[in-house]
Amino acid sequence: MIQTNSIWVVESKKQLDTLHALKSKLRYKAVVLESECDITTLPSYDMVFFLLTPTKIGNKFFIEAIKEVLSIRQNSKTIFMAIDDCYRLDEQELMKVTLELKSSIKYLISNPAVFMVSSYFALLHLQYELKQVTLEDIQHNREVMIPNQADGMITGLRLKVEHMSQLLQLSRMDKIYLLIEEFSKGVRNTGIDTTKQNWLILGPDKTGKSLLTKQLQASIKASGSFHFADKSPIPDDIGRYYDGIVIVLDLDINRSLAYLERICSTYVGLNKIIVVNKSDDFMFYRLSQSKLQTDMMTKLRFITSDPVFFVSAYYYEQYIRLSAQEVTMEDIIQDSKVVFADPLNFPIAKETHRAIMPELLLVHSGFNNLLQNWE
């Protein structure tokens, strides 16, 4: 059994005992009673599950626990709620309880992951598989009722061997087993940090996205709240793992428009930022920087209304290296790749602007504006 970095918080001793028995299926790191839970430990887990009873929806502990997780962790997608004993409720009651739960936390999580389960039925199924209980034991269990379209509820001695597999289906815990397996695998494969807000850097080849990822991660590291990843291939379900996407293009915008349109149409509803890198190459396009950017914005706005930033990862790298004294002022002056221009596209002489060279590099890199998104 591969253990996952997950925790279950339960409301009753019966639930605690049940989940102890289901550990091989749930693969959690810890399970704890609500009354004994130190909520300050919850943000350290990749997945936090709350096993709730229908009569205690929205209790104070539950609300405070979610607040604690979200005070440290940016990603609410790693919080899961399971309403237990759902077999005791009809469809109308299930809907009422679900709406009540979502309403109680809507100011914390807008679209929570809520499961209707029966941990008890899941336990019976496992015990039957392991031959810890017999068909006769289950036949004498008055709580076991298998719905049948032709015969209504099948109970007691009418329960047969072929009905036993339906216990897991009725428990609906199989969906959680699958979720745990897929999500824990996804966390490992994507390398996300579940204690932070995660942004995926995407873009066509040769747009400089790897350098940009490195720079963003280093520049915003001090905040401790954000994680940036440059991953390929793209995960199947970006929204499950990432809070936003940074789409990196370059000045050769025409070759990237189809790519941008595909990403924007595929991931509707996910936060997106468009970064046009290598803006320092504008002199190769025989247009002023402002005119080139205006023309590009016109094309981009046919596809997306998301924020657009023009940057130079190379200028920002030189700014960082100059600040760290890894290069000298003379190195920057002699660097033919570093060319400054004023708003009217007249060149700015580097030699006569030594005193403000770091500021010129930062401003012309565009990172001073870009980084404000994550402050």
- Does position 221 have pLDDT exceeding 90, yes or no? no
What are the structural domain ranges in the chain?
6-188, 218-374
Asked, colleague to colleague, whether 6-188 and 218-374 share their fold, the answer is yes
Q: How confident is the model at residue 171 (pLDDT cuts 50, 70, 90)?
A: very high
pTM reported for the whole predicted model? 0.79
Q: Mean of the pLDDT values across residues 218-245?
A: 78
| Secondary structure class of 229 (helix, strand, coil) | strand
Phi, psi values for residue 155, rounded to 5° = -135, 170
* Separation CA 254–CA 273 (nearest Å): 18
Sort residue 254 into left (φ over 0), alpha (ψ -120 to 50) or beta: alpha
E-state strands within the chain: 6-10, 30-33, 47-52, 79-83, 113-116, 146-148, 152-154, 197-202, 226-229, 244-249, 271-276, 308-310, 340-341, 347-348
Strand 347-348 to 340-341 pairing: antiparallel
What six digits make up the tokens of 17? 């005992």
| In the chain, % of residues over pLDDT 90 | 50
Q: How confident is the model at residue 222 (pLDDT cuts 50, 70, 90)?
A: low
- Does position 38 have pLDDT exceeding 70, yes or no? yes
| Mean pLDDT rounded to a whole number for the chain | 88
Choices 3.40.50, 1.10.10, 3.40.30, 2.60.40: CATH for 218-374: 3.40.50
Q: Mean of the pLDDT values across residues 5-31?
A: 95
Q: With respect to CATH, is domain 6-188 assigned 3.40.50? A: yes
Condensed to tens digits (0 to 9), the pLDDT of residues 268-297 reads 888 899 999 998 887 777 777 788 889 999
CA 213-216-218 angle, 5° bins:
105
The pLDDT of residue 235:
67
Handedness of CA 374, 224, 264, 267 (dihedral sign): negative
Q: Mean of the pLDDT values across residues 246-258?
A: 92
